[in-house]
Amino acid sequence: MLFNSLTFLVFFAVVFPVYLLLRGWGARKTFLLLASYVFYAAWNPAYVFILAFSTGLDWWLARRLGREEAPGRRKLLLVVSLVANLGLLGFFKYGDFALHNMQALLGLVGVAYAPPAWDIVLPVGISFYTFASLSYTIDVYRREIRGDASLRDYALFVAFFPHLVAGPIVRARALLPQLATPRLITPDQVAYGLVLVLIGLFCKDVFADRLFAPVVDAVYAAPGSAGTVAALAAFFGFAGQIYFDFGGYSLCAIGLAMVFGFAFPDNFHFPYGARGLSDFWRRWHMSLSTWLRDYLYIPLGGNRGGEWRTCRNLMLTMLLGGLWHGASWTFVVWGGLHGLYLIAERVLRRHAPPIGGILGDVLVTTTTFILVCVAWVAFRAPSFGSALEMFGAMGRWEVGTPVQWLALMAALGMFGWHWRMRDRTLDDLLAASSEGARAAVAAVCIIGIFLAAGGDQRAFIYFQF
């Protein structure tokens, strides 16, 4: 069930009024849990059992962890959670990838191996709800939170439909306390949340799907026949497409949660205006980057233990972060590039004199954006050969079409907007606007969404992860 679908509109039109009509907080939570499972079952009812199994296991393990005092047994309980969750994720997401790589390795030594057809469909959202659930057992193991949540509250934390399939990766420590007490819903809060949903859908339907996606898809489908303008439009355009697609989804999730009385963390903060690569990761997919920092980078040693170990930890974190995105070596390369960027930035900051003033800001911000776009080529390209062809196409001059020029100018305009807004937030901008201005924004979004409707309905990009 997509947020940008008529089915979801009907779902929300039924669920929200019923939620308001229910009196008791317990009844409201039970209803939200059932609605969330219906929302998930709309893709594939069978995969509801995987979600329920993962939820029930981690809830039981966390309760045991909360009561257990013996260090060895506590560690064993945590290992069971890690193996079960990562095992499910590995089987569904990386099974086919592992089989084909085994086939390639055996072929190198002269062994012919034909792997069976892998007809298992990846459960939607498994990467996201796995990480959300693991945050609970790990935090309970660290004694940072208690492991005494009720099964209903914990199941709702994992399955709450706004964040279930593509984040933000909301942690137990952030959402479980909100579930413990009744949420106050005000008309202003509902109105503000709906404005965020409309802005998110506008970003997805108008910018990501109608402006950028046709140009990007056409060039990446045949990069060998593209020229300079087309290649540049796709090069910068995919940066726009993935930002407006995923950022739009995150705004929808945050707005929907707000409508029901819950607060979700921000997931994007004008990332293309970043002053360096480390700043980019403080602004891009923030719920994932902080998850990787707290549960992978710091446990590996973080920046403790010397320069070499810090660089190693950065690279391992980014490689695994790249692999999390998909079962392909192109995603690993994407993560590796960002690892190299972060290491190089760290070395330069330690040994090279800083460039101050406006010139330094222009140089650092522009270089950061270009390097991020270079890495996006590996992320988007279906193969390494296609990625190399993309860069080769930039040297074949051609005039380009109006649509390609529009996408290119729009992507560069987005870069300028992020630069201008990087020290502010969307909340600041909306809060400083009058009610009339916010109503005008909502009206423009509705009109844009209506005009963009009628074509192919595209799932959000991160649904496949």
What contacts 147, CB < 8 A, 6 or more positions away?
Answer: 62, 63, 64, 65, 66, 67, 136, 140
Please choose, from the candidates 278, 271, 273, 320, the residue with its C-alpha nearest in 3D space to the C-alpha of residue 295.
Answer: 320
> What's the rounded Cα separation, in Å, for the pair 183 and 201?
25
In terms of Cβ atoms closer than 10 Å to its own Cβ (0-12, 13-18, 19+), residue 67 is exposed
Distances in Å between the alpha carbon of 229 and those of 203, 307, 399?
24, 42, 7
The residues that are catalytic are 325
Distances in Å between the alpha carbon of 255 and those of 38, 65, 262, 303?
20, 34, 9, 36
Q: What is the token pair recorded at 48? A: 């509801």
414-437 exposure pattern, b = at least 16 Cβ within 10 A, e = fewer: bbeebbeebeeebeeeeeeeeeee
DSSP string, 88-127: HHHHHHHHHHHHHHHHHHHHHTT----PPP--PPPPTTHH
Cβ(73)–Cβ(180) under 8 Å? no
What contacts 132, CB < 8 A, 6 or more positions away?
Answer: 157, 158, 163, 169, 170, 171, 172
Residue 43, SS3 per DSSP: coil
Q: What is the token pair recorded at 435? A: 């009610």
